């Protein structure tokens, strides 16, 4: 059985885009390569990894509906395991296609997108749990709205029209929408803010918000609530309050450009 060197796995599994700041420098890209290298040599298929990650994020998200210490700890750890495996399955899939000549797995691609959608449940779960813990049902509504904002205005239809050759006066607006995407491409290099501003932006993008959920769940499991202005706040509660206006602004900004693109498409 052929042995793959880690440098070889790194070369073939590398993304063509730079990816998010958080992933590249902190969690979990600097470490995922070594697991990808191990799985590549063990001939573990990427579809198996993405299936496992989808199961883990689903179970972990539902655990966060609870307020017990064990539920918070296991759920938080599970979210981070999913975030790690999300890097591994992508690297392994690229290695399989580029080095081993396998075709792109439609099943694996679907499961990866499915797992991303399932991870949104974690945000609603913490809102539900906070509402039950505090007796304030507004947090269920807030978390539901956050889930809506996280999906964002779908721009795939606009991209498809433009790339198929249709004329638009504002095709550059599609590039500007990408400013608020965690994925950095050569097309957006001149439009992106500084690395630290990019880090702040990606903290509320995927997978940044997953890490924030992990942090606040562990804080609520081990640390006393925050006392501020005469009130007591759970860390998960504080996160919901912090994220809601930011995600609303992010959603509105992206939606504005999306609507510009839609209005500017010239129909034959």
Predicted confidence pLDDT, tens digits, the chain (268 residues):
789 999 999 998 887 766 677 887 888 888 999 999 999 999 999 999 999 999 999 999 999 999 999 999 999 999 999 999 999 999 999 999 888 888 777 788 888 888 988 999 999 999 999 999 999 999 999 999 999 888 765 545 445 544 454 444 444 545 555 554 544 555 545 545 555 555 666 677 788 899 999 999 999 999 999 988 888 999 999 999 999 998 888 788 777 767 776 676 665 5
**Tokens representing 186?**
């050569």
Query: Global pTM?
Result: 0.82
d(CA 117, CA 231): 34
Helices (H), the chain: 6-13, 21-25, 29-42, 46-63, 69-98, 106-134, 138-151, 156-163, 172-177, 195-202, 208-222, 235-264
> Which residue ranges form the domains of the chain, and what is each CATH number?
6-264 (1.20.120.1760)
232: three-class secondary structure by DSSP: strand
């Amino acid at each position: 059985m052929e042995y793959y060197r880690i440098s070889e796995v790194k070369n073939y599994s590398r993304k063509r885009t730079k990816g998010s700041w958080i992933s590249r420098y902190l969690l979990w890209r600097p470490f995922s390569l070594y697991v990808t290298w191990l799985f590549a040599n063990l001939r573990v298929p990427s579809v198996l990894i993405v299936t496992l990650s989808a199961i883990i994020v689903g179970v972990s998200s539902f655990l966060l509906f609870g307020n017990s210490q064990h539920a918070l700890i296991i759920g938080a750890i599970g979210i981070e395991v999913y975030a790690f495996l999300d890097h591994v399955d992508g690297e392994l899939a690229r290695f399989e296609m580029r080095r081993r000549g396998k075709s792109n797995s439609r099943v694996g691609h679907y499961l990866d997108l499915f797992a991303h959608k399932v991870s949104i449940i974690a945000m609603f779960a913490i809102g539900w749990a906070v509402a039950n813990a505090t007796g304030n049902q507004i947090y269920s509504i807030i978390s539901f709205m956050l889930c809506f904002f996280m999906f964002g205005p779908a721009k795939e239809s606009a991209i498809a029209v433009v790339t198929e050759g249709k004329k638009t006066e504002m095709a550059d607006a599609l590039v500007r929408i990408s400013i608020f995407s965690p994925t950095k491409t050569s097309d957006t290099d001149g439009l992106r803010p500084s690395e630290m501003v990019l880090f702040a932006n990606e903290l509320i993008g995927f997978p940044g918000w997953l890490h924030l959920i992990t942090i606040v769940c562990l804080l609520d499991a081990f640390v006393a609530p925050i006392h501020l202005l005469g009130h007591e706040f759970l860390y998960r509660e504080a996160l919901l309050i912090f994220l809601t206006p930011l995600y609303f602004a992010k959603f509105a900004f992206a939606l504005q450009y999306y609507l510009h693109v839609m209005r500017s498409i010239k129909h034959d």
